[in-house]
Structure 1
Amino acid sequence: MSGFSQRLVLMFFLLLCGLGLLAGVIQDSFHGQAFLLAVVCLVLTWVILPRVTALLERMGAKRCCLLLICLCFLVKLAWVLLVQAPIEGDYATFWGYANSLATHEVIDSGRYIALFPHIFGYAEFLSLFLALFGSSPWVPVLLNVLLSVCSGYLLFQLCLDWFGQRAACGAILFWTFCPSQTMYNSLILSEPLYTTLMLAFLLLVSRLTACTKRVRMATAGVLAGVLLRLIQATRPIGVIWAIAVVLWLLFLALPHWQKGEGRALCSIFLPVMLAVYVLTGLLWQAHLEARIGEQPSTVPGYSLLVGFNQESAGCWNREDSDRLYQYSDQPGATAQWAQEQMKADALERITSGDIQYPTLIYEKLRGLLGSDDSCVGYLTSVVRHVQFFRLICNGYYYLLLMLALAGAVRLWKDRSGGACLLVPLYCEGLILAQMLVEVAGRYHYSLIPMLILLGWFQRQERLDQKLVRAFKRA
């Protein structure tokens, strides 16, 4: 049963990501050039990386990790020092609310947060540091650098546990030199925070698969539930991880049941995690309402309406945005009521018969997965050689997609039921969720570390040894 379920999950992952890659590559000649660059980089990766990781392996895991963490910090820091982006658009929204939360117990004009409650999570996180260090634009970008380093460290530890030291070195190097992730650090956005939180959650769950102690399982369940709530509060994807863990334990982790870990995970860890996640949700809602001065909405009506807008291919558009504010600005209207009206409009649009669903899904998949150059668009006012940066961002992203697809093929033969199966489950959950709501290229940010992890699912030491022997013979 677990083998069939695993193959089904991987088949679906290959279908979604393969179609996303294809949709991106064939959209025009420029993206075709980026794909050719990715192929060249793939060959260079096979040639160069085995030698680099073999040299790093001699240092030992701790020294190697420290060296690569320092390298990651220097690369990310250098970019934000060289490129200072203007605070505008969505980033100005985060910045304004964070400053207000840093100086007021109850903020003025909290309606926007009431309409989009996930904005509050990152804004409050940032406000803690603004209150401590002052209202300087350097605070959020330096936080982004530190969070990026934390994500790199977590990637190293995950790959070290799953695939060995060489794979861990390769993973953090791929993260360090990922151009789009590096460029996003110049902006004020929540992606670095929730990505770090979800990698911490994944590492926590992964290390529980070798544990049978009840107290430790219960403690980990509490911590996992809190992490899920923090992820959900920053970006509404915590529920995707919760569903992924349930599916993994019930259908994919059956080999662990024979050893006892699976029974302990299901009987102790899972109920505690879900209970804490639900309970903290009620506490978070009350805290949010107290800080913004009104009840936040619990209905994503606006996002659903935009997600099924055929003309905008599920992306932001002025018409739907204006409709939301028309509802919100009516006398006596609450955020909840406005979003409920948008939900009713969305259901009407969905059932109207005017939507060509195959075309819409394809366009949304291309918008979400087809390219990785949205970061360049946000920085055009401060970055020269825009086409060059677009090319390397897309080429690097296509390389990660190809490696992840190859990793999924290799994972097909694995029958351990390990926590690494949470990676494709999360990817599928996020992609499917985005097919229902508003999409944007930036929304696949959290998939980047997942692609890196999945790309290293291989007998990396064996592959490296074969390549090194081949180089020596040559």
Structure 2
Amino acid sequence: MTKKITQQILQHIPIFLLAVFLIAICLLIPHQFKIAANSTSWAWIGIGIAILLAIILGTWLLNKLYKLNKYYVLIAILLLTIVPRLIWIAWIPTEAVSDYYYYNVIASYVADHNSWSTLQDQGILYYAPYFTHILNFSNLLSVVYKIFGNAYLVGQLYNIVITGLTAILLYIVISKRLQRTVAIGATLIFMIWPAYFMYSTLLGTEPTFLLLFVASIYIYMKMEETGFNLFWILSMAAVLVLMNLIRPLAAVILIAFIITALLLQKKRWDTVKKFGLVFIIFLVFTLGQSTINKLVYQIPTANSIVGYNVFIGANEKTGGQWSKEDSDTFWKLYQNPKLTNSEVDKELLNKGIKRYQVMAKNGGLFKHMKNKLVHYSDEGYGYSWNIYSQAPIIWDYSKIILQVSNVFLYLMLVLNFGALILAVCLRKVPMIFLFALFQLGFILSGLLVEVQGRYHIALIIGSSILTAWFLNESWSLLKRKLSRKQEELG
């Protein structure tokens, strides 16, 4: 009995913490809403109702389509994800900028059979040997360019197709875990998420990361079903390692899997063996990444960018975001011939820790975290990166685009909070525990390092699932109450 109570308490702690963060974000993000001063609350309410009705109606229509033929819904999901994005890039052409510029340039040179050492000697790699995710994604992109054509547009099309595949895989995964209606609703929300819709048409790494993320959930479920199966264990390790090469968030996902398995699965020793092996493989590849990179690229690289991220994230003046001063500090260390990339990262990590120590001593840590949470939750990233990527045409539609993006986020936050409350009241916390744990892990890890609005893209998967689950459970409750009333009247 005591053991069962302890398990329930442990399951409810992440739910409570996530609920606190959702409330905090709802209270904080209005300070950074980029909307016109004459926008009224009625406009926001109207947009919110329209979005909610679109999600409900879309879910109902796709459910009807499924009943006609279960394969029709897969075709519909693929087309509804890809076609609107193709129309978007045709209507609003963009250029590769910032990191996306280096993805494109490096991939283009590699696709033309230039060696990595040549690119390094010519200065083309720039800061990529330190920010190794640039090398890794560019390497992947070069393969796409070799096959389909060496052009920026091909990179955009790659991300659009990857987003379509992610939508289909998300539907399949959630169908196995929860009800079909939840799977359809979650997939629809993912497909139409306004900020990510715009962002997924650019040359970012996030579409590939999200595909691997959803794939890892599928593999986790297979590991639940099959016990100690070496194929699925190695598959999980491989996907997590690949995910980490694109965006270093795989550790958050692995920890969520381990905690969920230990709390919810009965065969705990089996869980320890399975995920113990996954953890060891993941750790070996993570710690040996600089050596592996050197073998792949034949140039010295950093083992991680944790130091840089902590250093930037600890900047109290900017609220954990990039600054010219911090950039100059990085370049001074990076261009020091006496320091290796790993030593540069270590030095930046020490500087970042010292910043946090000073903040804690001066009592500014709480305010800093509050500012970081505001920046982390900024839903203007889709619009901003399109503008920054030389697409000024959307400036004319800025008011409505930003309104819809922000209302959509607010609606998701409120419905996610509702999902947590409903799960506790209905005693169905285990059904959503894994997805809530993902959300909590991403938020906590995000507050420790550099923050940007686009960094919360990882939250979209869990948020879509929680929202769809809440709507489905609410409808089921309403139907049961109406049915009971009819019985009483009858």
TM-score (norm 2): 0.86
Give 2:382's aligned residue.
Answer: 375
Give the alignment's Cα RMSD to 1 decimal: 2.8
2 CA distance for matches of 1:86 and 1:47?
36
Q: 1:356 to 1:206 in 2, by over 3 A?
A: same
Give 1:202's aligned residue.
Answer: 217
Tell whether the 8 Å contact from 1:373 to 1:393 is kept in structure 2 after alignment.
yes
Give 1:312's aligned residue.
Answer: 318
Structure 2 letter corresponding to 1:330: N
Q: 1:147 to 1:229 in 2, by over 3 A?
A: same
Tell whether the 8 Å contact from 1:159 to 1:168 is kept in structure 2 after alignment.
yes
Tell whether the 8 Å contact from 1:411 to 1:457 is kept in structure 2 after alignment.
no
Map 1:22-421; keep pairs closer than 5 Å.
22-25=27-30, 27=32, 30=35, 33=41, 36-37=45-46, 39-41=48-50, 44=53, 48=57, 51-102=60-111, 103-106=113-116, 107-108=119-120, 109=123, 110=125, 112-212=127-227, 214=228, 217-250=229-262, 252-253=263-264, 256-257=265-266, 260=267, 262-267=268-273, 269-281=274-286, 284-290=289-295, 291=297, 293-298=299-304, 300-352=306-358, 353-354=361-362, 356-369=364-377, 371-380=378-387, 381-382=390-391, 383=394, 384-413=396-425, 418=430, 420-421=432-433
Matched, 1:19 2:24: yes
Deviation at 1:275, TM superposition (A): 2.6
Deviation at 1:279, TM superposition (A): 3.6
1 CA distance for matches of 2:31 and 2:53?
24
Deviation at 1:127, TM superposition (A): 1.3
> Secondary structure of 2:336's partner?
coil
Q: 1:468 to 1:395 in 2, by over 3 A?
A: farther
Q: How many residues align?
A: 461
1 CA distance for matches of 2:40 and 2:17?
25
> Secondary structure of 2:448's partner?
coil
Q: 1:462 to 1:320 in 2, by over 3 A?
A: closer
1 CA distance for matches of 2:165 and 2:11?
30
Tell whether the 8 Å contact from 1:69 to 1:149 is kept in structure 2 after alignment.
yes
Structure 1 letter corresponding to 2:220: V
Structure 1 letter corresponding to 2:400: F
> What is the percentage of aligned positions where both structures have the same residue?
18
Deviations, residues 324-357 of structure 1 (Å, cap 9, x unaligned):
1011222333222222222222222222235611
Structure 1 letter corresponding to 2:385: Y
1 CA distance for matches of 2:188 and 2:383?
22
Structure 1: gaps (5+ residues): none
> Secondary structure of 2:95's partner?
coil
Deviation at 1:221, TM superposition (A): 0.7
2 CA distance for matches of 1:447 and 1:412?
21
Q: 1:266 to 1:35 in 2, by over 3 A?
A: farther
TM-score (norm 1): 0.89
Tell whether the 8 Å contact from 1:225 to 1:273 is kept in structure 2 after alignment.
yes
Structure 2 letter corresponding to 1:272: L
Tell whether the 8 Å contact from 1:302 to 1:320 is kept in structure 2 after alignment.
no
2 CA distance for matches of 1:54 and 1:468?
20
1 CA distance for matches of 2:172 and 2:432?
13
2 CA distance for matches of 1:355 and 1:195?
37
Tell whether the 8 Å contact from 1:166 to 1:460 is kept in structure 2 after alignment.
yes
Tell whether the 8 Å contact from 1:148 to 1:192 is kept in structure 2 after alignment.
yes
